[in-house]
Amino acid sequence: MRSGRPDMDYCDSLEKGVITMYNDIISSINSEYDMLLEEADIDSIIKGKTQYYEEAVVQAVETMVQNFVTDLLNSIRERGIDTKSTYTVFIGGGAVLLERFLEQADRLGKHTFIRDMKANADGYDLLYRMTQAGV
């Protein structure tokens, strides 16, 4: 966004979704602890519901999530966007899930989270209509 309007020169999509994170965590925990976590287990740990998991597993998952968030913010910076000096808007279920970890990151300035689970779809619809209109 520039001056409150979409700036198509800075519109991009990264291959850094939570599914990638889930797969990495599942593989690592299976290898390291011989435990078969599911995405729901990872979500529970991320949300702080850790009472059913070994402390070492909880620590490993939280460390991997924090590393994922750090890598994500680094990838954004590599694209020329400084999340410390720009107002960052996080949209969608993955962003809401990772909110606690994103807010702990030292690479983030002013920001907000849009919790509407349809926000990504609405944004892509707007982007499609803008490209069709030649904007």
Q: Are 86 and 42 in contact (CB under 8 A)?
A: no
Mean pLDDT of the chain: 90
pLDDT of residue 131: 85
In this predicted structure, what is the pLDDT of residue 11?
A: 63
Residue pLDDT, tens place only, 51-88: 999 999 999 999 999 999 999 999 989 988 889 988 88
Most confident of 20-24, 81-85, 92-96: 20-24
- pLDDT tens, position by position, 23-50: 999 999 999 999 999 999 999 999 999 9
Flag whether pLDDT at 12 surpasses 70: no
Determine the average pLDDT of the residues in 111-123.
87
- What pTM does this model have? 0.84
Note the pLDDT of residue 116. Answer: 87
